[in-house]
Amino acid sequence: MKPLPFLIVETGQPFPTLRRYGRFPHWIRVAAGLEEAETVTVNVEHGETLPSREGYAATIITGSAAFVTDRAEWSERSAGWLREAAHAGMPLLGICYGHQLLAHALGGQVDYNPAGRESGTIRLDLDPAAHADPLFAGLPASFPAQATHLQTVLRAPEGATVLARSAQDQCHAFRWGENAWGMQFHPEFATHHMRGYVRARADCIARHGGCARSVARQVTAAPQARQLLRRFVRHARGHAG
């Protein structure tokens, strides 16, 4: 029997200088090891309507340059859909904006990070709970990940388990229930994506006291973080089966 497709909720577009690499759903699909025919993309930012949950193995929510705190109509509508999906037990994975949107949908608090912009290859430190998590189990206690964000999850949803932190962000990953995960970092980013974002956000990095050239030089591969997408796919396939 043909496996159920993955729904990708597209909430924004890459920075213009990076669009030669495709859109976020393509980056996610490649990193997750999914064929194009195994995914269905809905561009909610452009007004497309989210479908019924029936017939999908899981949902992945992309990053965006938008802000959850703006409470845009398309964003709030998507949050409502995600809230229902999470309570129904559908496997969900929110990335960056998607992480924040999922937290907001489930009653968490999202706002600007008091520590300022976080950019480049950062170090994730796993909380003890991560070592028994279906996605994070078996990973090193600390490993690199790619990040670029101004807003963050200041308070995880009630009942959520925080799984990872960084020096600047105390909720870099969480799990809510058995099947819903948020990741502030970008598991789909390769080094060329990350360096491109650092260059594109150079002025903002400088305003927050950083040096984009130095941050770009320190960008390295993040294979453990990238693994998490394939782990999510396996988890969702197992859940669907």
Distance CA 210, CA 207 (A): 7
Greatest CA separation found in the chain? 54
Question: Which two tokens mark 151?
Answer: 């807003």
- What is d(CA 9, CA 158) in angstroms, rounded to the nearest whole number? 24
Residues annotated as catalytic are 96, 186, 188
Six-digit token string for 91: 């496997």
3 class by beta-carbon count within 10 Å (0-12 exposed, 13-18 middle, 19+ buried) = exposed
Strands in 39-43's sheet, in edge-to-edge order, are 39-43, 6-10, 58-61, 92-95, 180-183, 173-176, 161-165, 118-126, 142-149
- Residue 61 gets the label, from left (phi > 0), alpha (psi -120 to 50) or beta, of beta
What are 9's strand-pairing partners? 42, 61
Asked whether 174 and 85 are in contact (CB, 8 A), the reply is no
Phi, psi of 2 (to 5 degrees): -65, 130
Amino acid at 98: G
